Amino acid sequence: MYIKLKSIILPCQFQNTSVQLFPAREDMSTLEKFHLQISKLELYPKDSNVVEQLLYEMATKPIVHVAQKEGGTQLKLVIDYSDDLQALFKPMRFPREQQTLPNHFYFTDFERHVAEIATFHLDKLLGFRRAMPVTGRILNITSEIYQLAEGDLLKTFFISPVGNQCFHGRCSYYCDTGHAICGNPDTLEGSFAAFLPSKELAGRKVWRHPWRRSYHKRKKAQWENDSNYCSLVKEIAPYDKDRRLLDLMDMAILDFLSGNMDRHHYETFKLFGNDTFTLHLDHGRGFGRPYHDEISILTPLLQCCMISRNTLATLLKYHNGPQRLSTAMRQSLAKDPVAPVLWEPHLAALDRRVSLILQAVRDCLNRSQERIEDNETPQNKNHLQKHGVS
C-alpha cells in the first residue's frame, strides 16, 4: 500500500533483512546480544528483552574504567564495565526546569542528559527503534569517576569553594573551571547510552544532512531560502529512490517533537547498502524549549510533503487517543532510574506538536493536485478524512 502526497509514492513497509555481525556464542555479553538484533530495518525488534536487560546493566553494573571521549564540542565520558559493556556518559549540568538560554544559538546550546534518555523512549514509542538504548544513573564522582580517571581528565578535577567535587575535562565548548561539572557534594546524575558495534565489525557511512543548518551566526542554509529545495534533493542519490528520503521525514518528526535543531549529519550501516534505516544519534540538544515550537525543523516534511503510512498512523493514534503521546512518554520514562526524566511542560509540548505535524500533513494534502492513490483509494481517503487529516 502507498500514500501519495504531491508526486512521490511512498512504500509503507520495508523488508526486514537481518545480517549477522559475528557468530553467536554462549558467553556473549548483553551488548553483543543486542548487536546481533540489528537488522536492515531497525536496531532492535519490538518488545526486545535484550534492550531491557541492557538498560538494567548500564544502570547498575560496577564501572571499571573511565576515559574522556575524543572530539565533540562538550564533555562526554566513555564508561567501561566488565564483560565488554561500554556506554557513553553525558553528565547533568542543570535542573530539568532550566530552559535553553534565549541568546544561545542552536550550535552553542548546552547538552542535556535527560534529552538523550527521553529521545530514546520517544524513538521507541514512535515505532522507529533507530536510537541506541539510553538510561539514567546516579554516580559517585569520587569513587566512580575520579578514582578511575587517568591523564588529562584526572588533571581537571577540583573541589569547589563550597566543597563539591568538580571536573571539566577538555573539549571545544564549556570545558573550563567556569563551566565545570559538579556533584552534590560528589553525587552526579547522567545519561548512559549503549555503544554501537565497532566500525571494524559494522562500518558506518556518515552522510551530510540535506537540511543541515548553516551553523553560522549570520548565514542561512540553501533550504531556508528555496521553497523548491526538496525537488533538488530528490535528484541526488540516495534520495532519488528507496527509503532514504522517507527516513529523513521520520527524523524531522522526531527532532520536531523534541525541539532538536542540531542535526547536521546522520549515519547508516555500510553492510546494508543505501536501502536501510538512518541511525538516530546525538540528541543532547533536545527538550530545551517547551513553550516554543520550532517549525523550521519540519521543513523536510513541509517541502517534500512525504510521510510514511506507519508514521502517520502512529501520530493519529496518539492524537486521537485513548492514550496521548505525553501519557505514553510519562509511563515509559517512569521506569528510568532518574525519573521523573522530563519537566511536565515538555510532555505537554509533545501533544501540541503532534497536532502541528498532522496539520502540516493536512496542508500538504490540500495543496496537492494529486489524490491519495493505491489499491484501496476510497477506503484510505475516507480513513484520513475520518481522522481529520484531509
Is there a binding annotation on residue 152? no
Question: Which of 288, 280, 239, 234 lies closest to 261, judged by CA?
Answer: 288
Catalytic pick among 123, 262, 363, 374 = 262
Is there a binding annotation on residue 381? no
Our answer to whether residue 262 is catalytic in this structure is: yes
Is there a binding annotation on residue 196? yes
DSSP for residue 195: P
Is there a binding annotation on residue 195? yes
3 state DSSP class of 176: coil
Q: Where are the beta strands (DSSP E) in the chain?
A: 2-5, 8-11, 63-68, 77-81, 86-91, 134-140, 158-159, 165-167, 181-182, 187-194, 204-208, 265-269
Distance CA 126, CA 128 (A): 6
C-alpha cell at 150: 587517568
Could you tell me if 372 and 382 are in contact, meaning their C-beta atoms sit under 8 angstroms apart? no
Distance CA 337, CA 52 (A): 13
Is there a binding annotation on residue 90? yes
Is there a binding annotation on residue 282? yes
C-alpha cell at 349: 509540548
Buried b (16+ CB within 10 A) or exposed e, 46-77: eebebbeebbebbbebebeebebeeebbbbbb
Is there a binding annotation on residue 42? no
Is there a binding annotation on residue 98? no
Is there a binding annotation on residue 158? no
List active site positions.
Answer: 262
Binding residue positions: 74, 90, 111, 193-196, 267, 282
Binding residue positions for ATP: 74, 90, 111, 193-196, 267, 282
Binding residue positions for Mn(2+): 111, 282
